[in-house]
C-alpha cells in the first residue's frame, strides 16, 4: 500500500488538529481545577471561622434576660 503526498498532508493536518484539541481540553481542565481549589479553600476558611468565632446572640433565649450583646458590664 503506497501513500501519496496528499495522504501525508491530510494525516499531518489531522495530527495538528488533535494536538490543538488536546491542548484546549488541558487548558479547560487546568482552569476547572483552579476553580475547584478556590472553592475548597473558601469552604475550609468558612468552616474554620464557624468553629473559631461564634458571635454572641443578639436576642436572649429567655425573654426576661438581656442577651450577652446588651448586658452592661461594670
Residue 22 confidence (pLDDT) above 90? yes
Q: Which grid coordinates are listed for 24?
A: 484546549
List helix spans (H) across 1-74.
5-52
pLDDT one-digit tens code per residue, 33-59:
999 999 998 998 888 888 876 555 555
CA-to-CA separations, 70 to 52, 60, 61, in angstroms, rounded? 22, 9, 13
Threshold 0.75, pTM exceeds: no
- In terms of average pLDDT, the best of 1-5, 7-11, 50-54, 62-66 is 7-11
In percent, how much of the chain has pLDDT > 90? 42
Amino acid at each position: 500500500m503506497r501513500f501519496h503526498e496528499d495522504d501525508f498532508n491530510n494525516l499531518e493536518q489531522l495530527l495538528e488538529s488533535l494536538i490543538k484539541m488536546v491542548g484546549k481540553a488541558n487548558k479547560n481542565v487546568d482552569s476547572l481545577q483552579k476553580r475547584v481549589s478556590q472553592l475548597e479553600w473558601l469552604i475550609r476558611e468558612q468552616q474554620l471561622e464557624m468553629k473559631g468565632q461564634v458571635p454572641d446572640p443578639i436576642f436572649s433565649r429567655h425573654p426576661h434576660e438581656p442577651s450577652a450583646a446588651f448586658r452592661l458590664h461594670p
